[in-house]
Amino acid sequence: MPRSSRRVPFDCLSAMRALGEPTRFALVRSLLDGPQCVNRLCEVLSITAYNASKHLRVLREAGLIEVEKNSQQRVYSLAEDFRTRMKPGTQTLDLGCCQFHLDQFQA
């Protein structure tokens, strides 16, 4: 049976800090398409597994993503709190204090 990581509360400041790094921002944009394993994320973004793991940890600690472990594989997805802050039908993240138009940034 798959195990999920513990849920981290969403915090606006932590989210902004995490999204301020280009690789982490690209990881989040990639996860907008749905859950992905770390190998796929590495392939899509042309980064090493070591580099991806470091950035994914920061995103998880900021409450932006969740990880589910299935046997040896880890599957990453956007956290529920993150998804609820996305404006319906858009790629706009509304943090309350500001908005990120994820489709307008270069990855």
Residue 96's pLDDT is 77
Residue 105's pLDDT is 61
Residue 1's pLDDT is 40
Instruction: Name the token pair of 44.
Output: 């899509």
Can you tell me which residue has the tokens 């940890």?
Answer: 57
CA dist., res. 3 & res. 71, Å (int): 9
Q: What is the pLDDT of residues 8-64, one digit of tens each?
A: 667 778 888 898 899 999 999 999 989 999 999 999 999 999 999 999 999 999 999
Q: For each of the domains in the chain, give its residue range(s) and CATH number, in order of start.
A: 3-104 (1.10.10.10)
Q: What is the pLDDT of residues 54-91, one digit of tens each?
A: 999 999 999 999 999 888 889 999 999 888 888 887 88
Instruction: Name the token pair of 14.
Output: 């932590």
Amino acid type, 19? L
